[in-house]
Amino acid sequence: MTHRPKGTKEMTYEEFKTIIKEELAKAPKGLTWTQIRTKRPELYQRWPANQWVRQMEKDIGLTRERVKGTPI
């Protein structure tokens, strides 16, 4: 389980979605979670919440792919 660093406010789904949408707009070929997280230090989670990822599939058309068995 990843804990929120001290002094960091809890992120809402809307804030999270905006960050992901902004980063993906800059990278037409897509990005991995690690690439996004490296660019945006406010994303401290080791993995994104599955519920939020599924919701973004509906809200912004997010698609997930697997490369050599690993989700990207």
Residues 19-64: tens digit of each pLDDT: 999 999 999 889 999 999 999 988 988 889 999 999 999 999 999 8
**Is the CB of residue 57 less than 8 Å from the CB of residue 24?**
no
Q: Output the pLDDT for position 70.
A: 60
- Residue 21 near residue 45 (C-beta atoms within 8 A): no
- Element at 70 (helix H, strand E): strand 70-71
Residue bearing the bigger pLDDT, 45 or 9: 45
Q: Model pTM greater than 0.85? A: no
Q: Dmax of the chain from CA atoms?
A: 38
Q: For 3-24, what is the mean pLDDT?
A: 86
Average confidence (pLDDT) over 4-19: 84
Domain spans, the chain: 13-71
Looking at residue 5, its pLDDT comes to 63
Amino acid (1-letter code) at residue 59: D
Q: Which two tokens stand for residue 45?
A: 């989670």
